[in-house]
Amino acid sequence: MYRQELIEISNELFRCERPFRHGKVSINVPDHLIKKMQDLPPIKEIIKNSVNLGTASRSVGVSVVAELLVIGALNNGIEKTVDSLIDYVSQDYTPCVQVLMLRGIKVVRSVELFDGVFIAKPEDVPSLPLIRHLNDYKLRLHTGNFGVMSPFNDYQSDDPPDSVIYKVINAKPKFFPFDADLNKFEVEAKKYFIVGTISNLLPLIFPENSIRHSYYSGALRNSFLESLDLCSWSSSGWADLGVGSREATDEDLESFRNILSKYLALSDDRRSKLDVPLHRLREAARHHNPVDRAIDLGVALEALLLRDQPDQTQLALQFRLRGSWLLGKDLDERKKIYKLLRDVYTYRSTAAHTGKLTSKIKEHEYACGRLTEGLKLCADAIKAVINAGNINWEDLLLGMDNGDEA
């Protein structure tokens, strides 16, 4: 109905366009065009509300709509861009993509981890700003010009992600009034934040390595809003330097998919009890300083194994017993776990009280190795708790959940 008018407006805007870096355009919209755009129903509906992008909302003024029309025309042609605007206005949702960029883990193909949630190579993600960033990075590698920052740079590390976890969502309602109840929006946003929830479990993939992540939410590629600025930026260790990356095998991803499914099936209360162990495990893996690693690893294991311990006596003993019975399949395995937990507990206590990992220099390398073993042990313990769903520690210590005799 308004297609021809939108095409005429786009043609006029196209003549006002000045190129800018990173796919942006600079437009000086004439006053008569501003008035015409404001009065046109498809544009009026967008600019009078806040656009729902799943985990955030943002206003889209006339100048932004003008930029989207011009960028779309540059990429796809005027008529196709106008049609995408009309399609968007006719929908009752905003097509979005949640993106969790990862460093420290690589994949060779896209794999579905959960309902509609994929881990993939960065170039396979339907997010136009990310694709532009990857292309821009390749260009800067070729030219050697790294002086200009893109929206993805944190001013400390310009490298692109090794892999990405993403989910395409249809965010409803499409718009929020500018005076919308913020509490209502937060409830809606939480419903869509599955990718953010998955980020909590990243330490369980490769616990000995630091997997860093940076999250954003944006419009889906090939939609009218595809060039809209990204939002909801958050990160953990994204700028860490000198950390390698590992390639995840099909077996690694299948194991993670299974534990993810069980984690998401837990009640909010049970998941919240894993927040501290997971966070501290992630921090322990990030630390290069073994003293900091010992403290965070110790806290992670204590928060997991001693959280519901009413008796504050003999905590060190309970710590070792619970961990060894949780993970050990037979007497020999329980003894090994018992000794490793004893060492981790000792290193944590020594680090917290003296600022050193061990009082003997010759034992330092051995202690660092034990902490690395402890990272994997902690991840295994968290996975065991998730798999169990609910653990009665007294029954466990009495051997009721273990076929081997004490």
Q: Tell me, what's the pLDDT at 312?
A: 57
Q: Which residues contact 14 (CB under 8 A, 6 or more apart)?
A: 70, 73, 78
Residue 201 confidence (pLDDT): 93
Between 339 and 232, the higher pLDDT residue = 339
Check residues 47 and 185 and name the one with the higher pLDDT.
Answer: 47
Geometric angle at alpha carbon 273, from 406 and 349, rounded to 5°: 65
* Tens-digit pLDDT profile for residues 161-196: 999 999 999 998 898 887 655 555 555 556 567 888
CA angle, residues 400, 401, 403, in degrees to nearest 5: 85
- Report pLDDT for 142: 66
Half-sphere exposure of 68 (CA within 13 A, CB side): 27
Report the predicted TM-score, pTM, of the whole model to 2 decimal places. 0.85
Quick check: 348 pLDDT over 90? yes
User: For residues 269 and 261, what is the distance between their CA atoms, to the nearest angstrom?
Assistant: 16
For the record, the structure tokens of 363 come out as 């034992």
Contact 406, 324 (CB under 8 A): no
pLDDT at 405 over 50: no
- Mean pLDDT computed over 304-320: 78
Mean pLDDT of all residues in 140-157: 56
b/e map of 378-403 (b: 16 or more CB within 10 Å)?
A: bbbbbbebbeeeebebeebbeeeebe
Q: Is pLDDT of 154 > 50? A: no
- What does the alpha-carbon distance between residue 117 and residue 209 come to, in Å, rounded to a whole number? 23
Are 85 and 227 in contact, with CB atoms under 8 Å apart? no
Supply the mean pLDDT for the chain: 85
Supply the pLDDT for residue 406.
37
Look at residue 27 and tell me whether its pLDDT is greater than 90: no
Position 381 scores a pLDDT of 96
Compute how many other C-beta atoms are within 10 angstroms of the C-beta atom of residue 355.
9
pLDDT at 146: 55
Identity at 295, one-letter amino acid code: I
The SS3 assignment for 388 reads helix
Single-letter amino acid, residue 105:
I
Q: Which of 12-21, 46-55, 113-122 has the lowest mean pLDDT?
A: 12-21
Count of alpha carbons within 13 Å of 159, Cβ hemisphere only?
17
What are the residue boundaries of the structural domains of the chain, listed by start? Answer: 3-246, 267-397
Where residue 23 falls among pLDDT bands split at 50, 70, 90?
very low
